[in-house]
Each structure stands twice: as C-alpha cells, then as structure tokens.
Amino acid sequence: MEMLRDELIEALQDTSEEVAGYRWNKEDCNDLLNIFTTTITKCLIAGREPIIYGFGKFKVATRAKHRIANPNTGEHMMTRELKVPMFQAGETLKREIKEMDQLGN
C-alpha cells in the first residue's frame, strides 16, 4: 500500500515520539523530509552514493539502450541510454522485512 507524503510526515511524528521521547511537530518533520530528500538528490547528482548502513544505498544506474516496438505502428526503434535513480536495501532492512513476512504481516 502506498504512503503519501502527509502520511509519511505523520509516521515520522509517531516515530519521533518513540525514538526521541517527544513528538516532533509537523513542520519539523516536513523540514526533515525535505532536507533528507534534497541531500540525497544532490549527492546523486554529484556522483556520490549515499549509504545508510543497515538501511540501504542510493545510487544512479545506467539503463542500457535496447530495442522497443512502437505499440501503435509496430515499428522497431532503439531507446537511448538512460540514467535512473536506484535504491539497494541493506542487510538489516532485508532481514526485518523477511521476519515481518514470516510472521504473516
């Protein structure tokens, strides 16, 4: 199930209470999310691969050129090489998801 930005900010508020001992306000959580996403984006643009050990690694991958068919005409053509953002889950995150799956959640 997708989680929209406002729902993520609310989840950050809930987690802040668990982790920090007090509930962060909505504006601070929104700022935190903006800071995080902007920083990751800037790092990727600069050719860096941010790693959060246990959680995962953000990187830019290159999707190779490949042959496709135009669905309207059936004409074959080549796509261009394309850079795409990627996320590779870390071992701790993988383990926690696997444990959740085994519990039937």
Task: Report pLDDT digits (tens) over 92-104.
Answer: 999 999 998 888 7
Query: Does residue 58 lie within any of the structural domains?
Result: no
Length of the chain: 105
Q: Which domain holds residue 13?
A: 1-48
Query: Does residue 89 lie within any of the structural domains?
Result: no
At 1-10, the pLDDT tens digits run 899 999 999 9
Rg of the chain over all Cα atoms, to the nearest angstrom: 19
Query: Does residue 77 lie within any of the structural domains?
Result: no
Indicate the average pLDDT of the chain.
94
Contact status, residue 91 vs residue 56, Cβ threshold 8 Å: no
At 59-74, the pLDDT tens digits run 999 999 999 998 899 8
Query: Does residue 20 lie within any of the structural domains?
Result: yes
Query: Does residue 86 lie within any of the structural domains?
Result: no
Q: What's the rounded Cα separation, in Å, for the pair 102 and 88? A: 21
Query: Does residue 33 lie within any of the structural domains?
Result: yes
Q: Domains in the chain: how many in total?
A: 1
Query: Does residue 105 lie within any of the structural domains?
Result: no
Query: Does residue 10 lie within any of the structural domains?
Result: yes
